[in-house]
């Protein structure tokens, strides 16, 4: 079971271009610095992350810094790679891995990521309970295993 968090989110309507089904689309306020809604790999579910409270966030950043050393990456690239790798430290949600670099949200019925998003003006704020990022499996790994996992994900997903 994942931890859950009650959040105030901005609500929009997503309409699937493939099957026509509707789903709720959420945004966090821009003022919530350090808080994010990540996605599961299949794009279907939101997962709440608070970068400041998160136990793995700093740890991964530190390990990545040593991998990035001498690679002369732009700050944007470093952020992009961090987002791509962060998910390996997160427990799955509904059996699906988290992808910190995913920005699209998918249709709950057919899985298509082609959605028309209708934002509301003025914005409508609602309370929703969403799964929260946890690192139970990650925390059972020792430092060396974590480093290996990050390195192999880096080689797989980040082209330098
Ligand atoms: Zn659909």
Q: Note the pLDDT of residue 70.
A: 87
Which residues lie below 8 Å from residue 39, measured CB to CB, with a gap of 6+? 45, 46, 47, 98, 99, 102, 103, 104, 105
Question: CA angle, corner 101, sides to 32 and 61, nearest 5?
Answer: 75
Structure tokens at 152: 């192999």
Say how many Å lie between the CA of residue 114 and the centre of ligand 1. Answer: 8
Say how many Å lie between the CA of residue 112 and the centre of ligand 1. Answer: 5
Q: Which residues crowd ion ligand 1, with CB under 5 Å?
A: 16, 18-19, 21, 107, 109-110, 112
Distance of CA 120 to the CA centre of its chain: 24
For the cut 70, the answer to whether the pLDDT of residue 160 exceeds it is: no
Say how many Å lie between the CA of residue 41 and the centre of ligand 1. Answer: 16
Structure tokens at 111: 């899985």
Say how many Å lie between the CA of residue 105 and the centre of ligand 1. Answer: 11
pLDDT band (50, 70, 90) for residue 23 = very high
Whole-angstrom distance, CA of residue 130 vs CA of residue 26: 10
Say how many Å lie between the CA of residue 44 and the centre of ligand 1. Answer: 11
Q: Note the pLDDT of residue 133.
A: 97
Say how many Å lie between the CA of residue 15 and the centre of ligand 1. Answer: 8
- Per-residue model confidence as pLDDT tens digits over 87-133: 999 999 989 999 999 999 999 999 999 999 999 999 999 999 999 99
Q: Note the pLDDT of residue 136.
A: 96
Long-range Cβ pairs for the range 121-129 (8 Å, 24+): 123/10, 123/11, 124/10, 124/11, 125/8, 125/9, 125/10, 125/11, 126/8, 126/9, 126/11, 127/6, 127/7, 127/8, 127/9, 128/6, 128/7, 128/9, 128/24, 128/26, 129/4, 129/5, 129/6, 129/7
- Residue 94 phi/psi, 5-degree rounding, is 50, 35
Average pLDDT over residues 141-152: 96
Say how many Å lie between the CA of residue 23 and the centre of ligand 1. Answer: 9
Are 99 and 86 in contact by the 8 Å Cβ rule? The answer is no
- Beta-strand pair 124-131/98-99: unpaired
Say how many Å lie between the CA of residue 83 and the centre of ligand 1. Answer: 26
Say how many Å lie between the CA of residue 45 and the centre of ligand 1. Answer: 14
Say how many Å lie between the CA of residue 65 and the centre of ligand 1. Answer: 40
Q: Where are the domains of the chain?
A: 3-155
């Amino acid at each position: 079971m994942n931890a859950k968090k009650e959040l105030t989110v901005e609500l929009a309507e997503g309409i699937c271009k493939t099957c026509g089904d509707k789903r709720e689309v959420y945004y966090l306020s821009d003022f919530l610095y350090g808080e994010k809604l990540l996605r599961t790999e299949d794009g279907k579910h939101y997962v709440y992350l608070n970068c400041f409270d998160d136990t793995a966030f700093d740890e991964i950043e530190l390990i990545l810094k040593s991998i990035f050393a001498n690679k002369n990456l732009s700050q944007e690239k470093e952020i992009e790679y961090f987002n791509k790798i962060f998910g390996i430290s997160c427990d799955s949600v509904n059996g699906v891995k988290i992808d910190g670099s995913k920005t699209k949200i998918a249709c709950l019925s057919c899985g298509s990521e082609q959605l028309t998003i209708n934002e509301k003006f003025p914005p409508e704020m609602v309370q929703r309970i969403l799964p929260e990022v946890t690192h139970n499996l990650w925390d059972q790994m020792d430092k060396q295993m974590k480093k290996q996992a990050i390195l192999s994900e880096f080689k797989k997903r980040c082209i330098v």
